[in-house]
Chains A and B, each alone.
Chain A
Amino acid sequence: MLILTCPYCGLAADETELSPGGEAHLKRFGPGSSDDAFTGYLFHRENPRGVHFERWRHSNGCGKWFLAARCTVTLEVFGTYPAQTTEPPAAILDAIRAKRPDWEGRA
């Protein structure tokens, strides 16, 4: 039963307020893209045992989508941040590295 802090309304939201949305920072490929690029975008997932960047919606709250960095093994949350970014913010990466020095970064 996770608790994630919604970066918009600042609430520490219970999992029952939230809807998961899968891997974050996917780059969209549209018409004209290669089959590989499009399949990768739509289906291939990192699915790591460890640090995962993922999408959540505060669906029973403010309705906003946000992103979280979370460990899929310990369920530790390194931070949450607004969805309007293509890369994790430096502060989040620093927080992860501080706690997981051997983390190799996003695959």
Chain B
Amino acid sequence: MSTRLARGGRRIDRSKRVEFTFNGKRLTGYQGDTLASALLANDQMLVGRSFKYHRPRGVVASGPEEPNALVALGDGARMEPNQRVTTTELFDGLSARSQNHWPSLEFDIGGLNNHVARFLPAGFYYKTFIHPRPFWKHVFEPVIRQSAGLGPAPKDRDPDVYEQVYAFADLVVIGGGVAGLHAARVAGAAGLRVLVLEQTAHWGGRSPVDGGTIDGQPVQDWIDATLQALDGMENVTLRTRCMAAGIYDHGYMIGYERLTDHAPAPGMPRHRLWKIRAAQVLSATGAIERGLSFPGNDLPGVMLAGALRDYVVEYGVSAGDRTVVVTNNDDGYRTALALKEAGLVVPAVLDARPEATGALPEAARAQGIRVETGRAIVKVMGGKRVTGVGVGLQAGEGSILEEIACDAVAMSGGWSPVVHFWSHTGGKLVWDEAQALFRPDPARAPVGADGLPNQAVGGAANGALTLGAVMADSHDAISEVLRRLGKTVSDPAPAGDAPAEAPLHPVWVMPQGAGHKLKSKMWLDYQNDVKVSDVQLAAREGYESVEHTKRYTTLGMATDQGKLSNINGLAVLSDALGAPIPQVGTTTFRPPFTPISMGAIAGEARGDIFQPLRRTPMHAWHEAHGAYFEPVGHWRRPYCYPQGGESHAQAVHREVTATRTSLGLLDASTLGKIVVKGPDAGRFLDMLYTNMMSTLPVGRCRYGLMCSENGFLMDDGVVARIDEDTWLCHTTTGGADRIHAHMEDWLQCEWWDWKVYTANLTEHYAQVAIVGPNARKLIEKLGGMDVSKEALGFMDWADGTLAGIPARVFRISFSGELSYEVAVPASRGLEFWEACHAAGAEFGATAYGTEALHVMRAEKGFIMIGDETDGTVIPQDLGLGWAISKKKADYLGKRAQERVHMTDPTRWQLVGLETLDPNERLPDGAYARASGTNANGQGNTQGRVTSSYMSPTLGRAIAMGLVLNGPSRMGEVLEFPTVDGRVLSARIVDPVFYDKAGEKQNV
């Protein structure tokens, strides 16, 4: 059984007991435990079930590479699925549940899959479930979906908060092991701004477990001294529980700091996402141990040798009383020695190599440990837990020479450098034949904006696996980084000393001569249940690329992203193809290194602050007066102001009627206001607008159309000539920023010698439209300006003062009524708006929203950008030919409008549409059908509705639309099929429904 040892455990504080639950069972651990070590200490070896066959799964690793031991952590809205127990620090009250089983972890119906595993090889689902056709969607897929999926789905809104920070560094060191710490100290001493990210809560990595000395000091002493030195450097920032998650181009990095996962504190940020710019990045990320592929290697109790060692040394936890060690390298012996030293039994070390004569094997023998070379595990006994192993020859086919009873197996297949970060921005790898590992290729490094290498790798991450090599390599790496940054190294290289190790012997299949039956019991990917036989099947079927094999078998696609399985799988594939490993290649590592929370990525931008909200000076007034808002860009504009239980339609009706009969007020502040000024401003505007703006007299306004260079109508608005050199261009609400950018684009990139300045003044002014037969009376009541017909005619503007507030009054109308738009300084917008309401009370002044605005403009047949236009419409389609200057040689869009499709007489043209039944509104977006179908069998069309409203003024439904030859078909009736299967008939009419003569606005 696995248990807590009476002594040992560098990380734990035995004086501080911590209570937690697993599947509702109350258990205790110690401060400093991980959930993994605490579960093992409580003999909870079985922790989960695998993905495909629902096989029993136990802890196999001690770090982020763990593929098996995933739990649902926490309860209710704070539940987090798929949390690795090996990286979960234990805290009081922690609650964990195992996943992917039904009805229970111990007895899982899904485990039946295990018994038919032979019928479920890699890719079996591509070959079956094909007939009968509806069965995939209705029968097979629901079953597969339900049985897949690992952890439970969260149900509620996450109550926790997340934050993001920015950081800049000359050097980011990834990994706080001895290699990283040394590099940081050297860089710190050289005066660089250094940031060191360590994913665990501890400094020093695994060296203190593995032993040795640095510069003659025990490793831990050296670590303590180095940390002390680093703490004293103001230019060095050290972060624990902060994982480098990914490297992006030009030195951008993200770090993922887990702030309160280890000590939940509601209200405090849970995670912090670091957004870092680094001139150089040094990966000192160490290496991850590989498993060995022997039959039954997935049983709970079979663990990585280094992990077993970690649990004993760091946490005082033994995975079993009797542990068989199986290895192909000297490092595995460290585990045997550590177990022995802890008083545990190691019945044998099975070494796949023909001989083992290094210092570590000799030390093991000296301790009385039985060492067998050329041996393999050929069978693992047990169901939910290892009870023994069958030993055979590595060179053989799997005959059992001997059975050894044990309750744990420590396996070591060698170490794979963590080269992920090197790969994130395109660095390439080389295959190190001697050590059987991929390491970064310095000749093909990732590069920065200057095209020069911006990453380095030091220590085990670079394939330097013994302590001496680690320190020397780390020193070389940091020396290179300093050279790149124009600094020199002052510190000497530290000398690491540890027992020499003999070369490993690559073992990809154990035993070497295993047949198909045994190979179908050798697990590569524990979580996804991918076995040696699956990879071989993929190769046999032609899925030869490593990407094909990965996708066909799902090897390395699990939540550990193949940290344990990639190299072993690749080697099996290479063997199956008869091609060397480097030729078969490796898959591309991409961020994140281990999964990071969506919450951290989203950061603070949630709910009300999801996006910036733009408010007009009158926004609070609208809120206080019951406005129903609609989003328009980043603005929210009142759609209408429902009063006393009115529906939106009723409110719009009331607002339109009040405006048409007396007085309406609109907050028009969101309209874009761009000043264009300079000696060439007129010339510039003539290029920008389809009509002539240079001839506009000072004091006058003109409605203008703007097209893209591709000819399509992109914006419209009223332009006012302010003085000889200055024009003020109004744009649509959504268009202000876009149009300003458009102007600057042409000014800066095409006509840069023209003397023109632009400024977007949208937010400098509040603007109020005062509309209706009593509009003039209101303004006169406010007092300060003569706005009589004679003094301020239609399309005139004037500066002055209204109600004591500086005002610019434009006599323009988008409703067809007598109308003034008054711009006042934004700071006085609310004051002016309230003054209008106060003075207008006697006229029943009514605030109206965007929908009433739309209805009134449609009643007048005025087009709306975004309704009548959609990016495919040119001014000529809308009967706006009058606004296109025939005199100008050029304007943006003119050439485009000469193309054959733009001058096609069959383009649809703007008309009005009146349903035969006046109470029946044409649906938005309805199409007018034509007879027959096209070559693709689609119903033919001859027009469409662009705007459609119930007109309160006319008491009937009105619409505008684009219709084939429309203007010449007045009076014809078109049929509009609706989505609910009816057909509405509507007559083609003039688009101006109301006050065709335009008398109302001209009083």
Contacts and interface: CB of A to CB of B under 8 A. Distances in A.
A13 B2 CA distance: 56
Interface string B415-453: 000000000001000000000000000000001011100
B748 interface: yes
Given A35-B899, A38-B895, A83 B749 contact: yes
Given A42-B709, A55-B749, A77 B449 contact: yes
Given A30-B894, A30-B895, A74-B447, A1 B744 contact: no
Interface string B724-755: 00000000000000000100110011101000
B449 A75 contact: yes
Contacts of B749: 55, 65, 83-84
Contact of B898 (A1, A31, A57, A84): A31
B451 A99 contact: yes
Contacts of A19: 741
Contacts of A3: 250-251, 277, 449
A12 B250 CA distance: 11
Given A2-B249, A35-B899, A76 B744 contact: no
Given A3-B250, A31-B898, A38-B896, A65 B449 contact: no
Contact of A65 (B451, B748, B894, B898): B748
Interface in B441-468: 447, 449-451
A84 B249 contact: no
B252 interface: yes
Interface in B803-859: none
B252 to A, nearest CB: 4
B42 interface: no
B250 A57 contact: no
A28 B750 contact: yes
Contact of A76 (B277, B450, B745): B450
Contacts of A21: 745
Contacts of A4: 449
B630 interface: no
B250 A42 contact: no
Given A21-B745, A83-B749, A84-B752, A14 B277 contact: yes
A3 B450 CA distance: 10
Nearest to A2: B250
Interface residues of A, number: 30
A64 B895 contact: no
B890 interface: yes
Contacts of A84: 748-749, 752
A3 B889 CA distance: 41
A42 B449 contact: no
B635 interface: no
Contacts of A83: 748-749, 752
B710 interface: yes
Interface in A8-60: 14, 19, 21, 28-33, 35, 38, 42, 55, 57, 59
B890 A76 contact: no
A23 to B, nearest CB: 12
A88 interface: no
B862 interface: no
Nearest to A5: B449
A29 B277 contact: no
Given A1-B249, A14-B277, A76 B748 contact: no
Contacts of A1: 248-250, 252
A95 to B, nearest CB: 10
B250 A33 contact: no
A14 B710 CA distance: 31
Contacts of B750: 28
Contacts of A57: 741, 744-745
A29 B709 CA distance: 10
A71 B426 CA distance: 14
B895 A76 contact: no
B389 to A, nearest CB: 50
Interface residues of B, number: 27
Contacts of A76: 447, 449-451
A3 B249 CA distance: 9
B861 to A, nearest CB: 30
Name which of A1, A32, A77 has the most chain B CB atoms within 10 A of its CB. Answer: A1
Which of A14, A32, A64, A65 has most chain B Cβ within 10 Å? A65
Interface string B274-287: 00010000000000
A64 to B, nearest CB: 6
Contacts of A59: 741
Nearest to A78: B451
Contacts of A14: 277
Contacts of B741: 19, 57, 59
Contacts of B745: 21, 57, 65
Q: Which of B248, B894, B895, B896 has the largest number of chain A CB atoms within 10 A? A: B895
A99 B447 CA distance: 13
A33 B894 CA distance: 11
Contacts of A64: 748
B917 to A, nearest CB: 46
A36 B702 CA distance: 35
A55 to B, nearest CB: 7
A43 to B, nearest CB: 9
A21 B745 CA distance: 9
Interface in B688-733: 709-710
Nearest to B740: A63
A71 B750 CA distance: 24
B451 A74 contact: yes
B475 to A, nearest CB: 29
Contacts of A77: 449-450
A21 B750 CA distance: 13
A31 B894 contact: yes
A31 B895 contact: yes
Interface string B743-783: 01100111010000000000000000000000000000000
Nearest to A85: B752
A14 B276 CA distance: 11
Contacts of B277: 3, 14
Given A29-B895, A35-B899, A75 B748 contact: no
A42 B277 CA distance: 37
B758 to A, nearest CB: 10
A14 B741 CA distance: 19
Nearest to A83: B749
Interface string A87-98: 000000000000
Contact of B890 (A2, A31, A55, A75): A31
Given A76-B449, A77-B449, A63 B250 contact: no
A8 to B, nearest CB: 10
A49 B277 CA distance: 26
A11 to B, nearest CB: 13
A2 B710 contact: no
A76 B446 CA distance: 11
Contact of B249 (A33, A38, A75): A75
A24 B1002 CA distance: 49
B752 A30 contact: no
Interface in B16-59: none
Interface string A60-80: 000111000001001111000
Interface of A: 1-4, 14, 19, 21, 28-33, 35, 38, 42, 55, 57, 59, 63-65, 71, 74-77, 83-84, 99
5 contacts: A3-B251, A64-B748, A65-B745, A77-B450, A83-B748
Interface of B: 248-252, 277, 426, 447, 449-451, 709-710, 741, 744-745, 748-750, 752, 889-890, 894-896, 898-899
Given A30-B894, A57-B744, A63-B744, 20 more contacts: A2-B249, A2-B250, A3-B250, A3-B251, A4-B449, A19-B741, A28-B750, A29-B895, A30-B890, A31-B890, A31-B894, A35-B899, A38-B895, A57-B741, A65-B745, A75-B249, A75-B449, A76-B451, A77-B449, A99-B451
Closest 9 CB pairs of A and B: A1-B252, A76-B451, A84-B752, A65-B748, A1-B248, A3-B250, A83-B749, A30-B890, A77-B449
